[in-house]
Amino acid sequence: METPDSDTKLQNQLIINSSPKKQKWCGHEFLYEFNGFWFTKTYLETTQEMVETFKPLPTDIILASFPKTGTTWLKALLYSITHRSPQDDAVLSLNHPQELIPSLETNLYPRKRAQASVDEFLHEKEGRILSTHAPHQILRDLLNSCDCKIVYITRNPKDTLVSLWHFLQKLEGVGDDPWELEAAVDQFCDGVVPFGPYYDHVLAYREESLARPHKVLFVTYEELKENPRVHVRRLGEFLGCPFGGGDGDEEVEKIVKMCSFEVLSKQEVNKSSELSGSGFPLPYNAFFRRGEVGDHLRYLGDEMIRKIDHLTTLKFYGCGFHYGI
Ligand code: PAP
């Protein structure tokens, strides 16, 4: 996953940060602490590079999320909501959502030096949709530097963790040193997972959405599942491309269906076990597993659930956010 080049750069950052904390994670990976959050070596480098050089535009839409909370789904939705002409209809059946909307730290910054096309993408003026898993605490100045719109999706912590745990089983090299579920629960609760702590990540974007509702829209995976039509309309309005009545209802219906787990996960491109061009050493199909609310009940024992719920009560309920249990 890492390159010799990233090693050198990391060394320099480690010197600047004096003594960053480092913790063993899963497989052969370590995580490094930066401004209170944990990153793999690659993400530490690319996130720092992005913070130093990325210039959002007022016309940008930034999809922000903690990993495994519904990013792929929201990518499909944002793309469809903002591209509604008949010739756009086939795009989702031919392209993986992760490739339609690039991730700043996964796709754009690691290759920025090497790929002219990426530079070109970053210099596009209108209608860019970009995603990031970076926490608001680290991006605050950058995101507040212009009037770009931010859509943040979150998902209940137990399903998020279970989804992350499954995803990482598919990562090359993890098989030699499996990430046991007990260890995953402990590390998740300690916040030592990529882009963690999860709770701090969610709360900062939520706070920002309450303070600046015209700039940040906060949506949960569960509410999107429960009533996708309402939230597709809400997204359209927030992004300045509302749906009317009549034809609007049909358009909403079409988008909800096109982006549903049932339809997307059956597209050939999304079923493919080829290595994806998403920047992860993972196949295309790794982004579609079960797509359900409450899947954690199949995997987490009572004690694990108690531990996560206890933390959720302290962190979320303690802040008046009654979510995640
Ligand atoms: P990422 O952070 O690596 O981009 P992300 O897309 O946020 O991953 O999360 C993947 C989860 O979203 C998977 O959940 P699961 O492991 O619990 O199954 C995946 O199945 C789910 N997912 C992908 N597409 C959809 C969709 N269209 N509707 C609902 N869930 C989806």
CA distance linking residue 138 with residue 258, whole number of Å: 34
Q: Which of 171, 204, 178, 141 is nearest to 26 (CA)?
A: 178
User: Counting beta carbons within 10 angstroms of the beta carbon of residue 269, is it exposed (0 to 12), middle (13 to 18) or buried (19 or more)?
Assistant: middle
What atom of ligand 1 comes closest to residue 163's alpha carbon? 16
Residue 73 alpha carbon to ligand 1 centre in Å: 6
Please identify every residue annotated as catalytic: 133
Give residue for tokens 């956010």.
321
What atom of ligand 1 comes closest to residue 66's alpha carbon? 2
Around Cβ 268, how many Cβ atoms within 10 Å? 9
> 91-100, 196-205, 206-215: which range is least confident on average?
91-100
Q: Is the pLDDT of residue 1 over 70?
A: no
Give pTM, 2 decimals. 0.92
What atom of ligand 1 comes closest to residue 76's alpha carbon? 27
How high is the pLDDT of residue 14?
45
Tell whether the torsion through CA atoms of 272, 274, 280 and 281 is positive or negative: positive
Please work out, in degrees rounded to the nearest 5, the angle formed at the alpha carbon of residue 295 by the alpha carbons of 289 and 298: 110
Residue 67 alpha carbon to ligand 1 centre in Å: 9
Q: Are strands 61-65 and 129-132 parallel, antiparallel or unpaired?
A: parallel
Torsion angle (degrees, nearest 10) of CA 83, 89, 90, 95: 40
Residue 196 alpha carbon to ligand 1 centre in Å: 18
How high is the pLDDT of residue 113?
54
Residue 167 alpha carbon to ligand 1 centre in Å: 10
Contact residues of ligand 1, CB 6 A cut-off: 65, 67-73, 159, 163, 166, 259-261, 264, 287-291, 295
DSSP, collapsed to helix, strand or coil, labels residue 308 as: helix
Q: What are phi and psi of 161, to 5 degrees?
A: -65, -45
- Please give the average per-residue pLDDT across 92-120, as a whole number: 78
Give residue for tokens 């920002």.
208
Q: Is the pLDDT of residue 301 over 80?
A: yes
Joined together, the tokens standing for residue 105 give 């730290």
Residue 261 alpha carbon to ligand 1 centre in Å: 8
| Residue spans of beta strands (DSSP E) within the chain | 22-24, 30-34, 37-39, 61-65, 129-132, 149-154, 216-220
From 65, 68, 100, mutation site for ligand 1 pocket: most ligand atoms within 8 A of C-beta: 68
> 205-209, 277-281, 321-325: which range is least confident on average?
277-281
How high is the pLDDT of residue 3?
38
Q: Is the pLDDT of residue 69 over 80?
A: yes
**Partners of 152 in beta bridges:** 64, 218
Around Cβ 27, how many Cβ atoms within 10 Å? 18
CA distance linking residue 250 with residue 252, whole number of Å: 5
Residue 209 host element (H or E): helix 198-211
pLDDT range class, residue 276, cuts 50, 70, 90: low
Give residue for tokens 């279970």.
162
From 43, 69, 72, 280, mutation site for ligand 1 pocket: most ligand atoms within 8 A of C-beta: 72
Average pLDDT over all residues of the chain: 88
136-186 pLDDT tens trace: 999 999 999 999 999 999 999 999 999 999 998 877 666 667 789 999 999
How high is the pLDDT of residue 307?
98
Q: What residue type is assigned to position 95 of the chain?
A: N
DSSP, collapsed to helix, strand or coil, labels residue 38 as: strand
Q: Is the pLDDT of residue 34 over 60?
A: yes
- CA-proximal residue: ligand 1, atom 9 (nearest): 68
How high is the pLDDT of residue 270?
93
pLDDT range class, residue 280, cuts 50, 70, 90: low
Q: What residue type is assigned to position 232 of the chain?
A: V
From 129, 287, 290, 297, mutation site for ligand 1 pocket: most ligand atoms within 8 A of C-beta: 287
Q: What are phi and psi of 44, to 5 degrees?
A: -60, -45
How high is the pLDDT of residue 16?
45
What atom of ligand 1 comes closest to residue 159's alpha carbon? 17
- What kind of architecture, by CATH, is found in domain 26-274+283-319? 3-Layer(aba) Sandwich (3.40)
Residue 45 alpha carbon to ligand 1 centre in Å: 25
- Please give the average per-residue pLDDT across 8-30, as a whole number: 66
Cβ neighbours of residue 220 under 8 Å, at least 6 residues apart? 153, 154, 155, 156, 323
DSSP, collapsed to helix, strand or coil, labels residue 22 as: strand
Show me where the domains of the chain are located.
Answer: 26-274+283-319
